[in-house]
Amino acid sequence: MTGLPDNRDSFGSRFGVIAATAGSAIGLGNIWRFPYVAGENGGGAFLLIYLGFIVLIGIPVMLSEFTIGRSAQRNVFGSFRKLAPGKPWYLIGLMGVAAAFMILAFYTAVAGWTLEYIFQSVINGFKGQDAQELNSMYFSFIGSGFRPLLWFFVFMVLTAVIIMAGVQKGIEKYTKILMPLLLVLLLALVIRSVTLPGAGSGLAFLFKPDFSKITTSTILEALGQAFFSLSIGMGTLITYGSYIQKSDNLGSTAVSVAFADTFIAILAGMAIFPAVFAFNIEPDAGAGLVYITLPNIFQQMPGGYFFSLMFFILLGVAALTSTISVLEVIVAFFVEELKLKRKAATLLATGSVSVLGILCVLSFSSMSDFKLFGFTVFDLMDFTSANILLPLGGFFIVIFVAWFLGREKAAGELSNRGRLRTGYMPFFMFIIKFLAPLAIAFIFLQGVGLIKLT
Ligand code: TRP
């Protein structure tokens, strides 16, 4: 007997676990956000610091989430309640569910934009437009109210349909197809981009570290980006971890997923910067890099029609495998705690997220003047989740494993009850006891403005 509730779904294969988890990690964070954050923070130097954080902090936090989820075999709230009965640790689980609502609401709004851009690519809508016109095209689209709402709902429904089908027959089945597709599309784009005349300076920008660009804020950006990109701090990986079979190796899974996530972010940089430099455009266009700068490049480049279509499909696929992972956090919670059927739980979760999502979408149009604490609803969801809830969640997750569960239980889970060698334990324990909580506390305090370093 494994002690599992009989009807609990799980991932069926090792590749399925990696596809689903890497699918969660790889998303708008890698393809939309990483290139522009790297672009604004000096390229190569940022990349080096980012890599350091992935290895030193990201992987240990990910392993902590897997440990919690797989030992408890529950949703994020139920996991803490089961491992720490009668103690207030379940509040971290509730915070995770709240963060899932917020992230899903604003993330799906941006994910919906990819559908508009796929549509525009199909009808060749970028053709003949100059940079100024593409800029106003983007702002008038997101400010138009109806179309972004429509695409938001389409994206929500796509997400819900996959989730409704279950863990193995939904999440695993689709991510096993979508992730290889994403890799193929991205490789094709990289090849196109690096073979453009003048591409070399883009590669130099991405890979040649210029340490004069490094400031405290670069370092904090890098840590925040590592958290968001790896999907850590919210219980997504606690939930997915609870579906990983007892015979799988959690350590090597975490390393593979972190590697895949980083590799895709770097490939995204290699698809974007050589093209940006080949067409003499500034690399620090910020959030508009993908939606304004790239269409401008596509319509000037040979084969641009297809590459544009490919790129926005790629972006949509990456976003979809991430939105399903966030919706699953809420659905697993509803199924196990409210005892709902999966279908009813999905409908309830999708419906309630949509209410918040509508407010996020309209934050760029009719509700742009509606401010709470000086933020539009979209910015409030983005800020509260990424800068407050994720770091807080990550902080308490490592503290929980390091100081509450303790070394012995963690080692038992990570070694599959002594069947695997876990020579990394001393190093892992040191990081989650001291280094990770300190580093996270640091970004958190800086993020909310409680400490201020230059
Ligand atoms: N990691 C995803 C991305 O890079 C987004 C994401 C999915 C996420 N699940 C998450 C971020 C949980 C934080 C927490 O696009």
Query: What is the pLDDT at residue 3?
Result: 44
pLDDT at 20 over 70: yes
- If you measure from the C-alpha of residue 384 to the centroid of ligand 1, how many angstroms do you get, rounded to a whole number? 14
Q: pLDDT tens, 356-402?
A: 999 999 999 999 999 999 999 999 998 888 878 988 999 999 999 99
Q: Report which DSSP code applies to 287.
A: G
Ligand 1 mutation pick, 322, 383, 390, max ligand atoms within 8 A of CB: 322
What number of other Cβ atoms are within 10 A of residue 428's Cβ?
24
Q: Of all protein residues, whose CA lies closest to atom 13 belonging to ligand 1?
A: 231
Please give the Cα distance from 143 to 254 (Å, whole number): 40
**Domains of the chain by range and CATH?**
5-447 (1.20.1740.10)
Give the tokens for residue 124. Answer: 């060749």
pLDDT of 252 over the 90 cut: yes
pLDDT at 1: 37
> What spacing in Å lies between the alpha carbon of 248 and ligand 1's midpoint?
23
SS (H, E, C) 13-37: CHHHHHHHHHHHHCCHHHHHHHHHH
**Mean pLDDT estimate for the chain:** 93
21 lines ligand 1 (CB under 6 A): no
Q: Whose CA is nearest to atom 8 of ligand 1?
A: 231
Whether ligand 1 lies within 6 angstroms of the CB of 25 is answered as yes
pTM over 0.85: yes
DSSP state at residue 375 = B
CA 319 to ligand 1 centroid distance, Å: 9
Query: Within 13 Å, how many C-alpha atoms sit on residue 81's CB side?
Result: 11
Say if residues 59 and 388 touch (Cβ distance below 8 Å).
no
Q: What is the pLDDT of residue 453?
A: 64
Find the range with the poorest average confidence among 76-80, 84-88, 191-195, 222-226.
222-226
Ligand 1 centre from 196 Cα, in Å?
32
Which one has a higher pLDDT value, 164 or 6? 164
**pLDDT by residue (tens digit) across 141-153?**
999 989 999 999 9
pLDDT at 452 over 70: yes
How much is the average pLDDT of 326-348? 98
> Quick one: pLDDT at residue 5?
53
Mean pLDDT across the stretch 196-217?
88
- Could you give the CA distance from residue 11 to residue 189 in angstroms, rounded to a whole number? 31
The pLDDT, as a whole number, for residue 2 is: 43
State mean pLDDT over 40-67.
Answer: 94
* pLDDT at residue 454 is higher than 70: no
Task: For residues 68 and 395, give the distance between their C-alpha atoms in angstroms, rounded to a whole number.
Answer: 14
Distances (CA, A) of 102 to 95, 109, 165, 357, 372: 11, 11, 23, 8, 15
Q: What is the mean pLDDT of residues 215-219?
A: 80
